[in-house]
């Protein structure tokens, strides 16, 4: 199975940090089980770096969500944790509409715990997944 992922941000500085894949002990301790840490990260001094084979799967793009988006392939998963909270209702609707067009029919959208598609885009349905804001396109 070929896996690739696209990481985007409006900040080039943040994307460069993500490209390095280096995180502090505090950052990796926030919700990452130790078994996954040792499987997917390597210790670099007092920090942890995502293993190279995973970093090679990623492409990094500057994207301003309120402007025109570059062409992107259909996606199985979109993760936008604590992003929509920074936009007004009309822009949230626009962003969700664009995501809906990118998302494969069986794909999933993850939002932050304080975010929702409710009253913004009725084409999504909430799915039970731990304490996450998990959504998929309504079927049928």
Q: Are residues 73 and 122 in the same domain?
A: yes
**3-class DSSP state of 19:** helix
The pLDDT of residue 128: 85
Residue 69 and residue 126 in one domain = yes
Same domain, 17 and 74: no
DSSP secondary structure code for residue 81 in this structure = T
Segment 41-83, tens digit of pLDDT: 999 999 999 999 999 999 999 999 999 999 999 999 999 988 9
pLDDT of residue 31: 83
Same domain, 70 and 51: no
Both 133 and 96 in one domain: the answer is yes
Report the number of distinct structural domains present in the chain.
Answer: 2
Residues 76 and 131 in one domain: yes
Nearest to 80 by CA among 50, 121, 52: 121
The model's pLDDT over 86-135, given as tens digits with 9 standing for 90+, comes to 999 999 999 999 999 999 999 999 999 889 999 999 999 999 887 778 99
- Asked if 15 and 55 count as a contact pair (C-beta separation under 8 A), the reply is no
- The burial of 7, by beta-carbon neighbours within 10 Å (0-12 exposed, 13-18 middle, 19 or more buried), is given as middle
pTM over 0.75: yes
Same domain, 51 and 70: no
């Amino acid at each position: 199975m070929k896996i690739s992922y696209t990481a985007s941000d409006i900040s080039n500085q943040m994307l460069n940090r993500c490209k390095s894949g280096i995180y502090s002990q505090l950052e990796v301790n926030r919700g990452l089980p130790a078994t996954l840490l040792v499987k997917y990260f390597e210790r670099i001094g007092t920090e942890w770096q995502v293993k190279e084979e995973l970093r090679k799967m990623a492409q990094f793009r500057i994207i301003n969500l309120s402007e025109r988006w570059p062409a992107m392939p259909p996606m199985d998963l979109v993760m936008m944790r604590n992003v929509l909270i920074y936009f007004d209702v009309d822009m949230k609707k626009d962003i969700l509409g664009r995501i809906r067009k990118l998302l494969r029919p069986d794909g999933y959208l993850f939002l932050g715990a304080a975010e929702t598609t409710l009253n913004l885009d009725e084409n999504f349905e909430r799915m039970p997944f731990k304490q996450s804001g998990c959504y998929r396109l309504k079927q049928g």
